Amino acid sequence: MSRSQSFFRPVPVESPIHRLAPETKVLGGIVISIGLVFNPLWSHVLVAAGLVIAVFIMANLPRSVLPKIPLIVRFALFGGAIGAAASGEEPFVAGIGVGGLLDYGRLIVVGIVMILWAGILSWTTGLTAVGFAIRRLIRPLRRVGVPVDEIGSVVALAVRSLPLVTDEIDVVNESVTNRPSPADLSDKPLREAFSYIGDIATAVVIGSHRRARDLATAMVSRGSTTAPDPHRPDFRKIDIAVIVGSFALCIAAFLVPGWPPIGE
């Protein structure tokens, strides 16, 4: 039971997005993000934002999955908005320059769209499915001499260990936060704090390396260090359509001049 962060915990609802193969979602997300990041024009930003909202609705996700924005981030965003609003850039609306605010809004929307893509992937796909997807996606690299099997095994075992490791970090973190501060206990607070950080890191590393030793013994007991090849997912027509569509959108993003045009 992980407390600080739940990795890839799909929302238990049915939707067309949940049913897509994980590779489709990974590839589609990456390709569309590339199209957006290279061309952050209002036209492109709005299309991407519309698309991500449409996918969110199609995925049948309740609004409550959206994380709460920490207060400090809200303040920072608000402060930035004030600065941008006060810049008085063109164009003017009712005598007030809103250009700065518009630029600011565009940057923030790009950021939100990127975070939402990653979020939708994690709310509709289990971590194990993502692990399999990574291993299948890197498989073609075998031809160019990449040690695909070794990376695949390491990915599989890392995915398998992630919840355990996160729990351990949580326990250490709790133990640290519940202790009296080390800086009060020494004449050299900085030095003490530094050695304390080392101790914390050591606790995490020793705990996890014990796990690594167990893992190695378990693999030897199974007679293999190579994870079995994951089964092919059922690629349906819709998956192929989505992948083709994403690539088309990405290419279009570069070819279409967009609006407003960039003036140097």
Partner 1 sequence: MSRTDNTTQTASVQDPTTQPARKKRRSEPLDAAEVADAAITAALVVALLAVGRVLASGSLFQVFAAFVVAVLAARRRTRAVVISTCAAASIALILGGLGPVSQAALAGVFGWCGGFALRRKWGRIRTVAFSLLIAWPAMSFSVLFFYPAVAINGKLRKLVFENIENQAKGFGNIITNVGGVFGSLGLGFVERAADWVEGALDSTAAFLIDNWLLLIPATELIYTAIYALAIRAVGGAILRRLDKALVDPIALSLRHDENAQPLPVTIAGDALKRNGTTVTMPLHLDIQRGEHVVVEGPNGAGKSTLLDALAGIDNHDSILRPGAVGLGSFGGTARVGQRPEAQVVGTTVEEDLRWGLDIPIDVSVTLADVGLVLPEDRPTSELSGGELQRLALASALRREPKLLLADEVTSMLDPAEQERITNRLNALRNTAVVRTTHRNDAAPTDRRIVLTSINPTPTLIPDGTNELRTITSAVTESRLLRLRDVGFTHNPTQPWAHEVLSGVDLSIHRYEMLMIEGRNGSGKTTLARILAGLAEPTTGELTEAKGVKRALAHQHVRLQLLRPTVSAELHSLAGVRTDGKQPSTDVERHGMRSDNLDTTIELFALEHLLNRRIDELSGGEQRRVLLAGLVARGVSLLVLDEPLAGLDASGRTDLAVTLDRVRLAGTSIIVVSHDIDWAPPHVDQRLRLTNGRLENVYP
For partner 1, the binding residues in 82-121 under the rule CB under 8 A are 82-89, 99-100, 103-104, 106-107, 110, 114-115, 117-118, 121
Contact between 138 and partner 1 by CB under 8 A: the answer reads yes
Binding of residue 53 to partner 1 (CB under 8 A): no
How many helices (DSSP H) and strands (DSSP E) are in the chain?
9, 2
Does 160 bind partner 1 (CB under 8 A)? Our answer is: yes
Instruction: Kindly tell me which residue out of 50, 78, 202, 256 binds partner 1, with binding defined by CB under 8 A.
Output: 202
Both tokens of residue 73?
Answer: 């981030």
Shorter beta-carbon distance to partner 1: residue 199 or 240 = 199
Taking contact as CB under 8 A, which single stretch among the options 50-58, 159-167, 239-247 is the one that binds partner 1? 159-167
Alpha helices in 39-98 (DSSP H): 42-58, 71-86
- Least Å distance, CB 131 to partner 1, is 6
| Residue in 93, 216, 241, 251 binding partner 1, rule: CB under 8 A | 216
- Tell me the C-alpha to C-alpha distance, in Å, between residue 262 and each of 39, 195, 258: 10, 52, 9
Quick check: 49 binds partner 1 (CB under 8 A)?
A: no
Site map (CB under 8 A) of partner 1, residues 59-78, x = contact:
--xx-xx------x------
DSSP state of 211: H
Establish if 210 lies at the interface with partner 1 (CB under 8 A).
Answer: yes
Closest to 10 measured CA to CA, from 121, 124, 119, 120: 124
Q: Min. distance of Cβ 7 from partner 1 in angstroms?
A: 7
Cβ of 94: how many Cβ atoms within 10 Å? 5
- Who's near 251: CB < 8 A, 6+ residues apart? 35
Tokens of 262: 């960039």
Among 19, 96, 199, 238, binds partner 1 (CB under 8 A): 199
Binding mask 242-261 for partner 1 (x = CB under 8 A): --------------------
**Helices 42-58 & 22-38, crossing angle to 10 degrees?**
160
Q: What proportions of the chain, in percent to the nearest 5, are helix, strand and coil?
A: 70, 0, 25
| Cβ at position 90, least distance to partner 1 in Å | 11
